[in-house]
Chain A
């Protein structure tokens, strides 16, 4: 009998989850938003995405092979996700060399020095975006005007949040439907709430993420904005319009669904996730309303990232049978 008997402790079966599958699902969930950006801003979007992903993957490969000299794990697609998310947080007309700099910061500073996948404290894509925002403020904040007529115009259009900050706008003039489908200025991944929510639905169906973080963030932001509007504005229409504006503008949905839910840098328990989400929502709104920057999502997520170890330590799930 030519048998080899295998022995191991139970369980002897495994679910079909794998790191690669989960990361692949995140990429798939981002595709609708990417397609909308291509439609709105043109092919430059694809070039930026390709450069970003390629440089992240290449860097991870080089670091793992020649510096860490450990196993190379680029096949788990985590670097692809980082690259894709980084790209989607950039304006569509950014010079490609800045994208490469961003990839270096994401992989070379925010991810690998902490020990690679699973050990980084801050979301690599966001750390890179914030670095670029501070280092190259001009390039990072001049957005091409969105157009559904093909390629983008050369001149820079303001983002809704930027305009609101500068006090340039009458809220009533904002095209809510346009903001929902992608007709607004901003980083190319964040413009279409519809496409992002489609991705969110996909992630939920595939059980890649749970609802806790995105819902906690968006609900906190809405609540915050409603209270603020109630105090500040007298017209009743603003009480509804203002929260909707804040949910759709800027990186709210992209951040809540894709950036804040990054496994490594978010809490482990549902209760912790809700605390984390509330923190992000509140900090974002504070920065948007009273801070120097028009948008605060990235900063809020990074600040809350730093609290995750503490949340994990003190927020425990309810044990079975505990009173």
Chain B
């Protein structure tokens, strides 16, 4: 019986001493922190993807609370809705951004872009691209080893085994930009997100001359400028043998798609434009 009492007593004393020590240590090393940071962090999506440029959601939350002008801070995962909620809570002006989605600008599938060699190094785009141009004649296109897939925290980008190209699942994409910086070839771009994930973009980043591009890939942009001429909104510019559609100016009119001789301009979620002559003929 004595043993039992002593044991209980000893344990109790240890407990009390520990509690007292803990209390004083906690007081001594207390970190004063704005409680709003915790609240703001809770309002953020909590993906810790790093898309905002901070190491995690807490980093952004701290910046949001501490800076007066938050117009340069934005969480693309939460979007406008999340940002306005936080801005209301903090009494600041909410930054606004058009919703965006990542776009892989390469259409050089296995069948359009024949392989000229076999790569047997480590499966990494960064390693392959620091070694050489790639398995095809094109030095600009998608390598397909999936550095973007690895970088994506939202499971929104995958390599299509049939085409060997990266493809974005626009419904899952949060435009955090992780894939954009992971791609050593700079193929991925954040573009304006249209309703129903509609999109028109130049699916090529080759700056080679037309003849060179054509030899390497049947789906490449050859810089023929036909699209530039047909665009009524001044959204298309051709520089260094490469067309680029500014997604903020594009109105999805589809005229360029019909003009493009190689099919480098890709269209998603839209029906092909029926040419006027064809319409007349039908009448």
Contact = CB atoms under 8 A, between A and B. Distances in A.
| Complex A–B touching at CB under 8 A | yes
Interface of A: 4-9
Nearest to A5: B117
Interface residues of B, number: 11
A5 B121 contact: no
A7 B117 CA distance: 7
Given A6-B117, A7-B119, 8 more contacts: A4-B118, A5-B116, A7-B118, A7-B121, A7-B135, A8-B120, A9-B127, A9-B131
A8 B121 contact: yes
A5 B137 CA distance: 13
B24 interface: no
A5 B116 CA distance: 7
Nearest to B127: A9
Interface in B109-125: 116-122
Which secondary structure dominates where chain A touches chain B? strand
A7 B128 CA distance: 9
Contacts of A8: 119-121, 131
B23 interface: no
Contacts of A5: 116-118
Interface in B139-167: none
B103 to A, nearest CB: 29
15 contacts: A4-B117, A4-B118, A5-B116, A5-B117, A5-B118, A6-B118, A6-B120, A7-B118, A7-B119, A7-B121, A7-B131, A8-B121, A9-B121, A9-B122, A9-B131
B29 interface: no
A7 B134 CA distance: 9
Nearest to A4: B118
A8 to B, nearest CB: 4
Rank and list the top 9 A-B pairs by shortest CB-CB distance, nearest first: A5-B117, A8-B121, A8-B120, A9-B121, A7-B117, A6-B118, A9-B131, A7-B119, A4-B118
Contacts of A6: 117-120
A4 B122 CA distance: 19
